[in-house]
Amino acid sequence: MSAPLLRVGGLSTWLDSGEAVVRALDDVGFEVGRGETFAIVGESGSGKSMTALSLLRLVPETGRIVAGSVDLDGVELLSLPEAAMRTVRGRRVSIIFQEPATSLNPVLTVGQQIGEVLARHRGLRGDASRTRAAELLHSVGIPDAERRLDDYPFQFSGGMKQRAMIAMAIAGEPDLLIADEPTTALDVTIQAQVLELLRTLQAERGMSMLLITHDLGIVAQMAHRVGVMYAGALVEIADRDAFFHAPQHPYSRKLFAALPDRTKRGGALAAIPGQVPPLTAPFPGCRFVDRCDMAAARCAKRVRDGRTPGALRCVGDGRKRVERRLAPAPRGAGPARALPDPQGRAQAGGRPRQGR
C-alpha cells in the first residue's frame, strides 16, 4: 500500500475555559489512506469535531493546538503559515458541517457561496463559474440546478441544504473530505440519501473521507476503518469488520452492549455506569478505568501497546476476555447482533461498495 494521504500523530488541542484548561484532544493519532473512509465514532464531547477542526486549524478562539503533527501528503499542516493554510482549506481538505441550516450564509445565494470556492481555488469567474456551480449542484442531486443557483439557503429544504454544502465542499476538488456528522440534523430517509451521495462522490473522485459520527449504523455502512474516541483520545483503531466482530476495548464493547435490538425488547438497555471523567487533568493511565468492569491494577498506570500509533490500547484483562469469548464464533456467520441500519439493509460483512 502506498503512503497514506493523511497521517496525524500526537495531536493535542486544549481549550481555555475560564480557570481550567480542558484537554479536548490528547495525543490523537491516525492515518487515512487514499480513497479510504476512516470513521471516528464517539459520544458528544469526546473530541470528534475538535479533531476535524484541528486538522484544518479552525479551532475556536479559546482553543489552541499544543502538540502534534498533521501530515497531508508529505506537507506538515501545523507548521504552514496561515496564508499557505488557506490554500489547503477548501482546496485539498474540505469539510461538511453538522448543521446545514446555520452553516450556510443566510444572505448570500447558494450560487454565490459555491462560486466563492470556484473563484478562490479554481480561478473560475463569471459564466464559467456559474456553469461549473450548476454542474456541481446537479451532481449532488438537486434538480433544476441552473435556476436554483439564485435561491437563498432558506429556500432549500434541510436535505437540499446539506447537498448544497456538499457541492461547496467538493467544488475545490479536495483530496480529503471531512464529514462532521453530516446527517445528524437530517431525518432518517434523507440521511440515507445523503450517505449514498457521499459514497458515490467519493468513489467517483477517489477522495479520502474522514467521517465523524456517533452512529454505529453509519460506520458499518460507510467506513473501511474505524477509530473510537473517548474523553479526548482514540481508544481503539481497527478495520471495520474486525471492529464489528471483535471490538478490542472494553468501552467499544460496552457501546455495542448498549445498542437496542430485537432480543432486548422490553428489557432495560445496558448503560455504562458513571460519567465521562473531566478533561482538565492529564490521565496517567486508561481514561476508562473508573467505569470499566475488567480493569486491572496496571490499567491505572499503563495504556499503550505501541502497535497502533495514537490509539490507547487496553492493557487490562478486558482484551483477553473479549477474545476468549468471541473466539468460538465461526467467521462468516455474520455479526452476533443486529446493527441499526439507516437503509434497513442487512449489515453482514463485506467492505463498503466501491464505485458503481
Q: Which residues of the chain form contacts with other proteins (CB under 8 A)?
A: 56, 58, 61, 83, 86-91, 94-95, 97, 99, 102-108, 116-117, 120-121, 152, 154, 165, 168, 172
Pairing assessment for the beta strands 63-72 and 6-17 based on DSSP bridges: antiparallel
Query: Rounded to an integer, what distance in angstroms lies between the CA atom of residue 216 and that of residue 44?
Result: 14
Nearer to other proteins, 20 or 108 (CB): 108
CA angle 224, 342, 37 (to 5 degrees): 15
List helix spans (H) across 172-223. Answer: 188-205, 216-222
Strand, coil or helix: 13: strand
Nearer to other proteins, 37 or 94 (CB): 94
Phi/psi region, residue 11 (left: phi>0; alpha: psi -120 to 50; beta: rest), is beta
Q: How far is the CB of 172 from other proteins (least distance, A)?
A: 7
Strand, coil or helix: 66: strand
Strand order from edge to edge, sheet including 63-72 = 20-32, 6-17, 63-72, 75-76
Phi/psi region, residue 120 (left: phi>0; alpha: psi -120 to 50; beta: rest), is alpha
Nearer to other proteins, 32 or 88 (CB): 88
Nearer to other proteins, 16 or 323 (CB): 16
Beta bridge partners of 71: 7, 76
Nearer to other proteins, 135 or 150 (CB): 150
Q: How far is the CB of 273 from other proteins (least distance, A)?
A: 35
Judge residue 1's burial from the number of C-beta atoms within 10 Å of its C-beta, 0-12 exposed, 13-18 middle, 19 or more buried.
Answer: exposed
Pairing assessment for the beta strands 75-76 and 93-96 based on DSSP bridges: unpaired
Nearer to other proteins, 42 or 174 (CB): 174
Nearer to other proteins, 19 or 82 (CB): 82
Q: How far is the CB of 100 from other proteins (least distance, A)?
A: 9
Nearer to other proteins, 106 or 330 (CB): 106
H or E segment and range at residue 31: strand 20-32
Residue that has been written with the C-alpha cell 495525543 in this structure? 27
Nearer to other proteins, 155 or 354 (CB): 155
DSSP, res 262? G
> How far from 250 is each of 37, 43, 127, 304, 305, CA to CA, in Å?
24, 15, 56, 15, 15
Q: How far is the CB of 86 from other proteins (least distance, A)?
A: 5
Q: How far is the CB of 294 from other proteins (least distance, A)?
A: 40
